[in-house]
Amino acid sequence: MKRFTSLLIAIDQTTSTSTKTELITQYLQEESLEKNKLWTIALFTGKKPQRTVNTTLLRKWGAAEANIPLWLFEHTYHIIGDLAETISLILPEYNITRTSKSMSEWIEEMMALKNADEEEKQIFIINAWKSMDRPSIWVFNKLVTGGFRVGVAKNILIKALSIVTNQDSTKIAYHLTGNWTPLKTTWSELFNFQDDTSDHSKPFPFHLAHALPNENISDIDPQRWVAEWKWDGIRGQLIKRKGEIHLWSRGEELITDKFPEFQRLTSMHDDFVLDGEIVAWKMEKPMDFQKLQTRIGRKNPGKKIMSDIPVKFIAYDLLEVNGVDIRLKSFEERRLLLEKIYESCIGEVLKLSPLIHFESIETLKEVRNESKRYQAEGLMLKRKTGIYHSGRKTGDMWKWKVDPFTIDAVLIYAQRGHGRRANLFSDFTFALWDGDRLLPFAKAYSGLSDNEMKEITTFVRNNTIETFGPVSSVNPKLVFELAFEGISNSTRHKSGIAVRFPRISRWRKDKNPEDADTLKHIKELLSDSE
């Protein structure tokens, strides 16, 4: 546990990607326990152990061990902003022998508590705390809570593993995908580069695009590039191998059971791996994203919801056909093979994403402006000769989204942040005018600089009307421009409106609260987008 704790502390103390790569490389080379290395890889790629103890119990036990009232613990937690760190700081110094258990042993013992009663869990947790120093308690608590964000991007880990295994990073990225677990997978099985066919469900790493910079727009040659709609759905890979259908989200979550309609594709002749978008689709057109969210939340959807919100997989790339990896072929070649696959499509659940050819960048701009009519977020631009990369690469693919919706709203609630923002108010609720009252319609936490948040924090402290735990109701004096990608009707919100990906685009110091927009105005935006 100490070696892993030292690694995390060292990573936490640097912002250098090269230093982080060196630290992880050194750890993987020096760590003798295979299980520790596997769990490290799993944690850094989002494969967290199943939570067996909820945070309410951890709060209660932490406060009791520190001999402080729960309200004081909660107050401390809201200031520090991280539960794992709060508990590690308030616990007393225990004068007992430190544990020699490894990180993997602690994880697996913790997972074994799944069916234990509360008393058994409490004994385990407190004994663990008593056997560790403060830094190890912090790491242990992170393992328990599942809040394992440590500033290690996947590409850093891939580079380190590429050095350790002496293998190409593309191969490493592929081997990290799929449904593997340290409980059942060995190091040699995970990095068996001779056998990449044992797991029929295994997806490929997604090719991700950067936003098209303004200075690169003139580089888009109509003879060398083609466009597609950027569909507003869930990015996924639809896999058919050995008579089985598997569906993966971009976050590498296996979501096959959520969309059983794709099982009818098992009768298709060819095997394939498709890259595309899962979109709610009815009456020959896409539905808004909010409808799809209803499907996402159901593990096993019933007949009614499948009838009310049918889905299609809009395929825009082919990565493998009949067991042959074709990612290094050009997009043009892959597209021709995809069209052949689609010709034999059975049923109505698969749709081919149409290509958009254009004569000039000016005509393409006009097409892009029509995006919202198609429930699209904009365009994807693809170089005809481009290969299918692993991860976010520039050069062969760009995303060119339409300008977001914007609206001026009034700040009415503020909440403290977490981590490095624990002493700042950084999470905000905004309202629009409905007659002579302000009606909340959206929350946002991104888009402001640290200096702006410091200024707003001072305002909140001086203008708080009422507090609700960590939330402060404030005098409605500040106006902000909010940007968002989509808008839809909603019965879950008081305003009757739901917006997608709201963020703060700027602080309107030039406007008074009475100058903010109305609920009527945002409903007009909704009507215009339909």
pLDDT at position 139 over 60: yes
| Model confidence band, residue 288 (pLDDT cutoffs 50, 70, 90) | confident
| Model confidence band, residue 151 (pLDDT cutoffs 50, 70, 90) | confident
347: left (phi over 0), alpha (psi -120 to 50) or beta: left
Burial class (CB in 10 A: 0-12, 13-18, 19+), 152: buried
- Between the CA atoms of 372, 373, 379 and 384, what dihedral angle is there, to the nearest 10 degrees? 170
pLDDT at 528: 59
pLDDT at 191: 87
Assigned CATH class of 405-529: mainly beta
- Show Cβ contacts of residue 282 under 8 Å, excluding neighbours closer than 6 positions: 309, 310
Planar angle of CA 377, 380, 386, nearest 5 degrees: 165
Q: Are strands 479-484 and 405-416 parallel, antiparallel or unpaired?
A: antiparallel
Q: Same CATH topology for 212-401 and 405-529? A: no
156, 21 contact by CB (below 8 A): yes
Taking residues 268-277, report their average pLDDT: 95
Higher local confidence (pLDDT), 332 or 423: 332
Angstrom distances, CA of residue 462 to CA of 418, 443, 477: 21, 21, 12
> Cα(233)–Cα(119) distance, rounded to whole angstroms?
44
Please count the CA atoms within 13 angstroms of the CA of 74 that sit on its side-chain side: 11
φ/ψ of 372, rounded to 5, equals -65, -25
DSSP H or E run through 87: helix 83-90
Averaged pLDDT of the chain: 90
> Cα(473)–Cα(36) distance, rounded to whole angstroms?
46
348: left (phi over 0), alpha (psi -120 to 50) or beta: alpha
Taking residues 374-388, report their average pLDDT: 93
pLDDT at position 440 over 60: yes
pLDDT at 420: 63
> Cα(377)–Cα(486) distance, rounded to whole angstroms?
8
Taking residues 213-236, report their average pLDDT: 93
| Model confidence band, residue 524 (pLDDT cutoffs 50, 70, 90) | confident
Angstrom distances, CA of residue 246 to CA of 40, 199, 256: 27, 11, 6
- The count of other CB atoms within 10 Å of the CB of residue 65 is 17
Burial class (CB in 10 A: 0-12, 13-18, 19+), 278: buried
Instruction: Quote the radius of gyration of the chain (alpha carbons, Å).
Output: 26
pLDDT at 417: 77
pTM of the model: 0.73
Extract the tokens encoding 403. Answer: 């300008």
Q: HEC profile for 386-425? A: CCCCCEECCCCEEEEECCCEEEEEEEEEEEECCHHHCCCE
CATH (residue range 212-401): 3.30.470.30
Higher local confidence (pLDDT), 46 or 491: 46
Extract the tokens encoding 308. Answer: 């009310």
Q: Is 294 helix (H, G, I), strand (E, B) or coil?
A: helix
Would you list the domain boundaries of the chain?
A: 212-401, 405-529
Taking residues 333-343, report their average pLDDT: 95
Burial class (CB in 10 A: 0-12, 13-18, 19+), 136: buried
309, 295 contact by CB (below 8 A): yes
What is the dihedral sign for C-alpha 49, 55, 61, 62?
positive
pLDDT at 418: 67
Question: What are the tens digits of pLDDT across the range 53-102?
Answer: 999 999 999 999 999 999 999 888 877 778 899 999 999 988 777 778 89
pLDDT at 108: 93
Q: Which of 505, 488, 495, 490 lies closest to 431 in space, CA to CA?
A: 495
- Show Cβ contacts of residue 426 under 8 Å, excluding neighbours closer than 6 positions: 415, 416, 417, 445, 448, 453
205, 336 contact by CB (below 8 A): no
Taking residues 211-236, report their average pLDDT: 92
pLDDT at position 421 over 70: no
> Cα(486)–Cα(367) distance, rounded to whole angstroms?
18
Taking every pair of Cα atoms in the chain, the longest distance, rounded to a whole number of angstroms, is 76
Distance between terminal CA atoms of the chain? Answer: 55
Angstrom distances, CA of residue 301 to CA of 147, 255, 259, 403: 29, 12, 8, 34
- Show Cβ contacts of residue 313 under 8 Å, excluding neighbours closer than 6 positions: 236, 238, 262, 274, 276, 277, 278, 279, 349, 350, 351
> Cα(171)–Cα(210) distance, rounded to whole angstroms?
22
Q: How far is CA 101 from the centre of its chain?
A: 32
pLDDT at position 530 over 60: no
Share of residues in the chain with pLDDT > 70 (%):
97
pLDDT at position 198 over 70: no
User: DSSP letter string over 454-509?
Assistant: HHHHHHHHHHEEEEETTEEEE-S--EEEEEESEEEE-SSSTTSEEEES-EEEEE-T
pLDDT at 473: 94
Share of residues in the chain with pLDDT > 90 (%):
61
Local structure of residue 96 (DSSP, 8 states): S
pLDDT at position 213 over 70: yes
pLDDT at 422: 66
Q: Which of 179, 276, 294 lies closest to 230 in space, CA to CA?
A: 276
Angstrom distances, CA of residue 211 to CA of 226, 282, 380, 393, 397: 16, 30, 9, 11, 9
